[in-house]
């Protein structure tokens, strides 16, 4: 049984996993405190983690009906993420590990976003391709071994997909975080505006075939909306949301399927907060099915940041017999994906 602690951004998450079974997933979020700034404020997030940590650990233990001494190991997100936020989780995890005499694993947040799927769909067929899309990351990875063999294939060269959702929501007057309200608005709208698909031109497909770019799309949406407003015409919010969302999902799914094909991989895992998007889930299913690829997407609550994902990866590391980290392991805000555990 592994207890996992996540504090890389604005969610304080504590999960408990036995094997592939999720026993508890306690979450405290400071998202409402950031909403009025339109983005996550690092200092506010760190303070909120500090306040939420002990109660969230207690709640997870109570939900699972276990005590800290029942746990075999503690796992914590060591990076990547906000430096101050990571430090709170890592310091807490060290304190719990030391106090209870448990081994400690510092784990990679992105690998944890992939590992969480095993709680829903069981062992991951390897190799797999993972599409990770969140507020801070948009990456394509080849997962040869979840416990130590993850190869980056591509990533965003500017904004992350979730960041684009958040910025476009702001342009449309929708609340932060922008993903859920855009998803809802898009369901009421039609795909009528041909917004640009970043890095899909012939030259980009040679050089950047598995990379993403969303900053041009974000600017195109802002310009389109401004032109409408200047002309004194109403902005069709639902249609803009649907058209923007389609541009993002089109590129993400096309490149993910192409990566599977080029690498001869049969399984595509989608994770990160944007994987909660209903259109992304549907389009990934549709395109993968056509290519004979199986898609695995965990339920939305497991896609956004949580403690269960950290516990899930910890559980895989323990069963693979990987040695734990040292009790002075560092938080690394730029931890590379080639490092699954510290
Ligand atoms: P990190 O990038 O370090 O993982 P994060 O807090 O941004 O941190 P998540 O909690 O995984 O990561 O994702 C949050 C992002 O997901 C936000 O940008 C949010 O707008 C986006 N998101 C959430 N739900 C949806 C949705 N239904 N459609 C599109 N985007 C969504
Ligand atoms: Mg978050
Ligand atoms: Fe995340």
pLDDT band at 34 (very low <50, low <70, confident <90, very high): confident
| pLDDT single digits (tens) 173-219 | 999 999 999 999 999 999 999 999 999 998 888 889 999 999 999 99
Same-domain check for residues 110 and 145: no
| pLDDT single digits (tens) 262-290 | 999 999 999 999 999 999 999 999 999 99
- Expressed as residue numbers, the domain containing 167 is 124-298
Q: How many domains does the chain have?
A: 2
* Residue 257 belongs to a domain: yes
Same-domain check for residues 268 and 141: yes
Q: pLDDT above 90 covers what percent of the chain?
A: 93
* Residue 341 belongs to a domain: no
Same-domain check for residues 222 and 265: yes
Q: pLDDT above 70 covers what percent of the chain?
A: 100
Does ligand 1 have an atom closer than 6 angstroms to the CB of 154? Answer: no
State the first-to-last Cα distance of the chain, in angstroms, to the nearest integer: 20
Does ligand 1 have an atom closer than 6 angstroms to the CB of 276? Answer: yes
Tell me what pLDDT residue 33 has: 84
| pLDDT single digits (tens) 215-243 | 999 999 999 999 999 999 999 999 999 99
* Residue 77 belongs to a domain: yes
Same-domain check for residues 136 and 266: yes
Q: Quote the ipTM score.
A: 0.97
* Residue 157 belongs to a domain: yes
DSSP annotation of 322 reads: P
Question: For ligand 2, a single-atom ion, which residues have Cβ within 5 Å?
Answer: 9-11, 305
Atom of ligand 1 nearest to the CA of 40: 6
Tell me what pLDDT residue 163 has: 96
Same-domain check for residues 259 and 194: yes
* Residue 338 belongs to a domain: no
Tell me what pLDDT residue 68 has: 98
Residue 320: how many CB atoms within 10 A of its CB? 11
Does ligand 1 have an atom closer than 6 angstroms to the CB of 13? Answer: no
* Residue 328 belongs to a domain: no
| H helical segments located in the chain | 31-35, 42-64, 83-100, 109-115, 117-121, 161-171, 179-187, 202-207, 215-230, 237-262, 278-290, 300-303, 307-319
Same-domain check for residues 80 and 153: no
Sign of CA dihedral 36, 38, 40, 42: negative
| Beta strands 267-271; 294-296: pairing state | parallel
| pLDDT single digits (tens) 38-50 | 788 898 899 999 9
Structure tokens that stand for 111 in this block: 């690998």
What average pLDDT does the segment 97-119 reach? 98
Same-domain check for residues 209 and 253: yes
Closest ligand relative to 179 C-alpha = 1
Task: Quote the CA–CA distance of 266 and 125 in Å, as a whole number.
Answer: 8
C-alpha 49 to ligand 2 mean position (Å) = 12
Same-domain check for residues 147 and 171: yes
Same-domain check for residues 260 and 212: yes
What average pLDDT does the segment 67-73 reach? 98
Same-domain check for residues 9 and 131: no
pLDDT band at 95 (very low <50, low <70, confident <90, very high): very high
Does pLDDT of 31 surpass 90?
Answer: no
Does ligand 1 have an atom closer than 6 angstroms to the CB of 137? Answer: yes
Q: Binding site membership for Fe cation: which residues?
A: 109, 113, 305
* Residue 342 belongs to a domain: no
Same-domain check for residues 254 and 154: yes
Mean pLDDT score of the chain: 96
Atom of ligand 1 nearest to the CA of 166: 20
CATH code at position 85: 3.30.420.40
For helices 179-187 and 161-171, give the axis angle rounded to 10 degrees.
Answer: 70
* Residue 40 belongs to a domain: yes
Same-domain check for residues 147 and 105: no
């Amino acid at each position: 049984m592994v207890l996992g602690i996540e504090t890389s951004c604005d969610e304080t998450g504590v999960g408990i996993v036995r094997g592939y079974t999720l026993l508890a997933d306690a979450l405290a979020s400071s998202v409402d405190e950031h909403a009025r700034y339109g983005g996550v404020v690092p200092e506010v997030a760190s303070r909120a983690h500090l306040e939420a940590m002990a109660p969230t650990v207690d709640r997870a233990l109570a939900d699972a009906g276990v005590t800290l001494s029942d746990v075999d190991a503690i796992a914590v997100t060591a990076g990547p993420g906000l430096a101050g936020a990571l430090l709170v989780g890592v310091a807490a995890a060290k304190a719990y590990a030391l106090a209870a005499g448990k081994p400690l694993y510092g784990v990679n947040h992105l690998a944890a976003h992939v590992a969480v799927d095993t709680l829903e769909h069981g062992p991951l067929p390897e190799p797999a391709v993972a599409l990770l899309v969140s507020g801070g990351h948009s990456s394509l990875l080849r997962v040869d071994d979840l416990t130590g063999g993850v190869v980056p294939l591509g990533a965003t060269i500017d904004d992350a997909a979730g960041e684009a959702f958040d910025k476009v929501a702001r342009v449309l007057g929708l609340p932060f975080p922008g993903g859920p309200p855009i998803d809802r608005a898009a369901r009421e709208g039609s795909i009528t505006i041909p917004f640009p698909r970043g890095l899909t031109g012939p030259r980009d497909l040679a050089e950047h075939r598995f990379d993403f770019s969303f900053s041009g799309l974000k600017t195109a949406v802002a310009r389109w909306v401004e032109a409408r407003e200047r002309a004194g015409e109403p902005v069709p919010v639902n249609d803009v949301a649907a058209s923007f969302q389609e541009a993002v999902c089109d590129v993400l799914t096309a490149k993910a399927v192409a990566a599977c094909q080029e690498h001869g991989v049969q399984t595509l895992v989608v994770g990160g907060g944007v994987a909660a998007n209903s259109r992304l889930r549907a389009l990934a299913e549709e395109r993968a099915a056509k290519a004979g690829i199986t898609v695995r997407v965990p339920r939305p609550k497991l896609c956004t940041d949580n403690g269960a994902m950290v516990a899930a990866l910890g559980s895989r590391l323990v069963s693979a017999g990987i040695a734990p980290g040292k009790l002075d392991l560092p938080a690394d805000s730029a931890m590379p994906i080639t490092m699954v555990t510290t």
